[in-house]
Amino acid sequence: MQERRSATRIDKVFRVLISTDEFGDQGYVARNISATGMFVEMAEPLPLNTKVIVRFTLPNDDAAICALARVQNHYYVHYNDRDELRGLTGVGVRFLRFVPEAGAPIPRDRMH
């Protein structure tokens, strides 16, 4: 099967802070990041097309890298773990743009 993704993916697990107007700030586990998006584990996936701010915190640093993104897909993954069936839910987010003022509050007019 041929890979459809054009961007190289990094399969690392890391913490992100996702902010939305409707749901506030919440910490999640993200993985499988590329230049265009990533997968975020969520027990209760955000609605499709929800605009979010993703903050990637840097260890031992107050700085953060921020991106504006949109929820593109919902995923429900089932897998075996030592002969036990497990499940994982989450969302695929697509990066819209990165915010140059890393860690700074996002002005309202830049959310749209």
Q: Is residue 4 assigned to a domain? A: no
Q: Is residue 112 assigned to a domain? A: no
Q: Is residue 27 assigned to a domain? A: yes
Q: Is residue 75 assigned to a domain? A: yes
Total domains, the chain: 1
How much is the pLDDT for 110? 52
Name which residue leads in pLDDT, 65 or 96. Answer: 96
How much is the pLDDT for 28? 95
Can you tell me the distance from the alpha carbon of 108 to that of 81, in angstroms, rounded to the nearest whole number? Answer: 44
Residues above pLDDT 70, as percent of the chain: 77
Q: Is residue 8 assigned to a domain? A: no
Can you tell me the distance from the alpha carbon of 45 to that of 93, in angstroms, rounded to the nearest whole number? Answer: 11
Can you tell me the distance from the alpha carbon of 108 to that of 72, in angstroms, rounded to the nearest whole number? Answer: 22
Which CATH number does the domain housing residue 29 bear? 2.40.10.220
How much is the pLDDT for 78? 84
By the 10 Å C-beta count (0-12 exposed, 13-18 middle, 19+ buried), 61 is classed as exposed
